[in-house]
Structure 1
Amino acid sequence: MQNRYAGDIGDYIKIGLLRALAPSRRLGILWYLYPNEGHNSDGRHTAYLSMPAVWRNLDPELFDFLAEVVPYERSVQAIQRAFDSEARFVAEPVPTGLTAPERSARRRHWFETTLAHLNECDLVFADPDNGLVGDEAWRRKATGFGKQMPLSEVRELSAGRCAVIYHHNSRFKGGHDAEVDSWLRALSMPAIAVRATAYSCRTFFVVNPDTEIVERTRAFCERWKDHKVRLHASRV
């Protein structure tokens, strides 16, 4: 997540999903906050806010909040106010700008601190900029590792509770449905996936869902189905 993305169409969908899943749950959000970049136009997808007739009915309270906040302040701190006051947040930036040997150790310390902060939460959301990656050791030394979440962190974060993980779909050979199936296999845990393809293609992996979370996810997808949101038809 980068502050420049705050309040774009992806945020409207992700916050809407979390609001739909969170009642009676203690929600924790791990932003995987990464420094703003300026090499592309990502994060400019806010035109939906000028189309209330199309988008507002999906979550009127959230839509009105974002329409008020986004023109003046784009940051994770600003959009956190869209959540219940009991929600917990980790906005400590992901370690970046280190030498290769330092990255792995600093990342481990950051993640362990995060787990401790979210210990009491029974529903957690992780928002890595690019999404999931494998657990190969070399990845932890790469300069872009701060934008990624390895499978080992997914498993630790979701141990004993439900976790929702953001993934930005890539140029996967075979297409995005095949990519989602590939990650569902790699997770090796109970999981379902929500595909959201308005403006750009993203997937939300709902890991370790109980029956209530599954039903709430299905209801969310049904409500948003005319806006390019659907439950993934897994072929795993």
Structure 2
Amino acid sequence: MQDRYAGDIGDYVKLALLRTLSSGRALGVAWYLYPDEGHNGDGRHTRYLQQPEKWRALDPELFDALARVVDAGRSVKAIEASGLMSATYHGAPLTSGSLPWQRRSGWRAAWFESLQSAMQSADIVFADPDNGLVDDDPRRRGKSKFGKQIPVAEALALAHGRSAVIYHHNTRRAGGHDAEVDHWLQQLGPHTLAVRATSHSCRTFFVLNPDAEIQERASRFCNQWSKHGVRLHC
């Protein structure tokens, strides 16, 4: 996540999904906050807010709140302050890329330990890495852009003994998006489902360890949003 994305169409989908899945649960939100980048036009997808006839009925309260976030200055803090979700938030930024490469792995381990500590009381956790899932190759941990990713080991650790929702931005992986989602489902284990969202760009939300209620809620959410590019991956 980057502050400049706050309130875009991706936020509308993911926060609506979280509000559906976490109702009545102790929600933890791990922003995986990465410093804003200005080299591209990502995060400009806010035109949906000018199309209330198409989008607002899906979650009117959220739609109106995100319109205020966009108007007032986009940031994860603004989303937290909106009061849309009763959650424990972890927003310590992932700034290890500014360190010498030899120190980055240890810095990330300490950062993740603080995240785990913050999420202790949560029984469902959402992780929002800028790019999404990667494998556990230790060489990645010295890369300057590793802060934009979540390795499988961290995803599984966040889901230990509870449900977790992991954001993944689909890539140009060989075989296409269906094969990519299948790959990560295999890595995350059999008790995982995938919610696909394809409006404006292709995203997948991997739901680890869903109980029967969360499975039913995910299915209901996909049905409600089906005309807006959202579906369960089968």
- The interval holding the TM-score normalised by the smaller chain is over 0.9
Q: Which residue of 1 aligns with 2:171?
A: 170
How far the C-alpha of 1:187 sits from its partner, in A, is: 1.3
How far the C-alpha of 1:82 sits from its partner, in A, is: 4.4
Rounded Cα–Cα distance in structure 1 between residues aligned with 2:46 and 2:200: 10
Rounded Cα–Cα distance in structure 1 between residues aligned with 2:81 and 2:221: 21
Q: Percent identity?
A: 57
Q: Does 1:114 align with 2:153?
A: no
TM-score normalised per structure 1: 0.96
Q: Which residue of 2 aligns with 1:136?
A: 137
Asked if the contact 1:95–1:110 (Cα under 8 Å) also holds between the matched residues in 2, the reply is no
How far the C-alpha of 1:23 sits from its partner, in A, is: 1.2
Q: Which residue of 1 aligns with 2:194?
A: 193
Rounded Cα–Cα distance in structure 1 between residues aligned with 2:83 and 2:182: 30
Rounded Cα–Cα distance in structure 2 between residues aligned with 1:83 and 1:139: 36
Deviation string, structure 1 residues 111-147 (Cα, Å, up to 9, x no partner): 0011011101001000000000000010001111000
How far the C-alpha of 1:80 sits from its partner, in A, is: 1.6
In the TM superposition, 1:50-65 aligns within 5 A as 50-65=50-65
Rounded Cα–Cα distance in structure 1 between residues aligned with 2:95 and 2:190: 28
How far the C-alpha of 1:68 sits from its partner, in A, is: 1.9
> Unpaired runs of 5+ in structure 1?
none
Rounded Cα–Cα distance in structure 2 between residues aligned with 1:227 and 1:81: 27
Residue identity matched to 1:133 = V
> Unpaired runs of 5+ in structure 2?
none
How far the C-alpha of 1:73 sits from its partner, in A, is: 1.2
Residue identity matched to 1:2 = Q
How far the C-alpha of 1:109 sits from its partner, in A, is: 0.3
Asked if the contact 2:35–2:95 (Cα under 8 Å) also holds between the matched residues in 1, the reply is no
In the TM superposition, 1:33-72 aligns within 5 A as 33-72=33-72
How far the C-alpha of 1:69 sits from its partner, in A, is: 2.1
Asked if the contact 2:33–2:93 (Cα under 8 Å) also holds between the matched residues in 1, the reply is yes
Q: Which residue of 2 aligns with 1:14?
A: 14
Q: Residues 81 and 189 (structure 1 numbering): CA distance in 2 closer, same or farther, change over 3 Å?
A: farther
Tell me the SS of whatever aligns to 1:24: coil
Q: Which residue of 2 aligns with 1:225?
A: 226
Q: Which residue of 1 aligns with 2:207?
A: 206
Tell me the SS of whatever aligns to 1:120: coil
**Range 92-101 or range 147-156, more displaced:** 92-101
Asked if the contact 2:165–2:205 (Cα under 8 Å) also holds between the matched residues in 1, the reply is yes
Rounded Cα–Cα distance in structure 2 between residues aligned with 1:191 and 1:5: 27
Q: Which residue of 2 aligns with 1:24?
A: 24
Say how many residue pairs are matched: 233
